[in-house]
Amino acid sequence: MASNQQQGGDLRLKTNQGETYIAATQRPDGSWRKARRVKDGYIPQEEQPKYQNPVQVATSSRGRVVVGMTPRDMKQVTSGPRQPIAAVFKPNAAITPAGTDSEENR
């Protein structure tokens, strides 16, 4: 076997005659799978992309727009998660309010 090619999750070997093989692999129980001869461009079933019908493709490619909202309103809504004001302006603020220490109350 002449050359190695890495495509997907398996090791592919190409012979001098031009045949392509998926190399033998070891199973978790210790036994071995045989090397398999495959055609050029073959993609194993577990590596095939998930099928999407044309309606799903059109729906996913279309923007998520709410009917009746202006683009300015959409920017305000999708600006990201909001943080509490204390976390933004006072990152080192005390956890307990002033005057509630146990020593002051005694």
Tell me the average pLDDT across 10-26: 86
Q: How confident is the model at residue 44 (pLDDT cuts 50, 70, 90)?
A: confident
Q: Does residue 23 belong to any structural domain of this protein?
A: yes
Comparing 6 with 64, the larger pLDDT belongs to 64
The two structure tokens encoding residue 84:
């509490």
| Digit-coded pLDDT (tens) for 81-95 | 665 554 444 455 455
The two structure tokens encoding residue 56:
């799903």
How many Å apart are CA 100 and CA 97, to the nearest integer?
6
Supply the pLDDT for residue 30.
Answer: 93
Comparing 49 with 78, the larger pLDDT belongs to 49
| Digit-coded pLDDT (tens) for 29-38 | 999 989 889 8
Q: Does residue 100 belong to any structural domain of this protein?
A: no
* Domain range for 35: 3-40
Beta bridge partners of 32: 26
Could you tell me the pTM of the whole model? 0.38
| DSSP E strand stretches across 1-106 | 3-7, 10-14, 20-22, 36-38
Q: What total of structural domains would you count in the chain?
A: 1
Q: Does residue 34 belong to any structural domain of this protein?
A: yes
